[in-house]
Structure 1
């Protein structure tokens, strides 16, 4: 069986779906799922549909997402919306609509949110490493 087939079966069974149910959710024939899971088909144009139906990424389904990829992704996480918020808050402060204390509070909230997201990513990576 292929990595794709193994992963497809694993994710499908984890969600307690039959091949027929997954096929209906993905809008594809059940035979494609069967062929992928048994290894009689190695690739299909339906990977994106299957991944969406399983609520995972196509990379996860194909088994291409590893800890190294996750660490690279985490290191590149940037939140331009937070930067934009800070710029707007500074403008409001300049206009006298925010005090220094209010601005610091907002900056602290944004920094806490960013740290929380990174902690979640770290925990996800730890779980991912334990499964290997």
Structure 2
């Protein structure tokens, strides 16, 4: 049995994951991806922050700061990243508060949600289809 389900008082010391904790979760999710896939990602940088910037929200036409769980920023392989001169490293942003809000509203584990968002955003880097991303999620467990 689950102590949190059996004893409501067991929740008293439990806190929402910090930015650092979510970053560790994202790193673990990334490490579970197939090696051949990670090798193709190159110098991809993953950052975790509470919310997207106002500029990102405006650019993505988001109605609220909770509308975006993650974002790929950069030049994807499908757009010729390898040939872009002096390109900044590609970045994936994971937004902690919207991810936690989504977690509270759905019947999925936080780890599964973080993995899903990470793979979805990496998928933008490669121009992958939803089916391709679903296969990667299956491989990542």
Structure with the bigger percentage of helix: 1
Rg larger for: 1
Pick 1 or 2: higher relative contact order, CA cutoff 8 A, min separation 6: 2
Give the TM-score band, short-chain normalised.
under 0.3
Q: Structure 1 length as normaliser, TM-score?
A: 0.25
Q: TM-score, normalised by structure 2?
A: 0.24
Q: Greater strand share, 1 or 2? A: 2
